[in-house]
Amino acid sequence: MLSATPPAPRSPGTGRPRPDRSIRPWWRWLVFGLCFSFGYGLSQRLGRMGAPAAATAVPSFAAQAPPGTRLGELQKRFGAEAHSLLVDLDRLAQERRQEGQRQQEEGRNATQDQLTQQRLDDAQREADRVRLEALNNGPDPAPPNPEPILLPPPPEADPSSVPSPAATTPPGAVANPP
């Protein structure tokens, strides 16, 4: 009988043979850790060789004075007498109420002033509008006179004082007979 070795398993997506699982994943991490530790040790050794001896004797975190102003300095600046830390809350509440009332009163006065100014502006605009309309319309025509003007009757003419039509005709013109 013929015996054949079974074919290597293939990955379903690409059809390539799968890698051998004989290498365990922990070996990878072991190699990574060894490389990292070797690099760290090498950098420490190079750092010690290049650093001067006096620099290694100084501690990294030297003690420093705390920040801020000391109590003694504040007492010198503002006086050493003790001030009471108690506060009259009723007085503060009353002052706040008075301040609120004052602000409301100022708001009312400002609103009243704005309304007055707006009314004045509206009146000025109306006066300007009327003036412009009067200029656009021109002067008003004279109102009709209700009473007719009576002229005196013409004087009656005498037939003898009326000139004849031939006398009023210019020379060279032909007079029309009546």
Query: Does residue 28 have a pLDDT over 80?
Result: yes
Q: Where are the domains of the chain?
A: 89-136
* pLDDT at residue 66, as a whole number: 83
Express each pLDDT in 115-158 by its tens digit. Answer: 999 999 999 999 999 988 888 887 666 666 667 777 788 877 66
* 112 CB-near residues (< 8 Å, 6+ apart): none
Phi, psi of 121 (to 5 degrees): -65, -40
Report residue 45 as tokens: 């050794």
Express each pLDDT in 51-94 by its tens digit. Answer: 665 555 656 677 788 888 888 888 888 877 766 777 888 999 99
3-state helix, strand and coil shares in percent for the chain, rounded to the nearest 5: 50, 0, 45
Query: Does residue 3 have a pLDDT over 80?
Result: no
- In this prediction, residue 40 has a pLDDT band, given cuts at 50, 70 and 90, of very high
Which of 8-17, 76-85, 144-153, 163-172 has the lowest average pLDDT?
163-172
Q: Is 170 helix (H, G, I), strand (E, B) or coil?
A: coil
* pLDDT at residue 59, as a whole number: 61
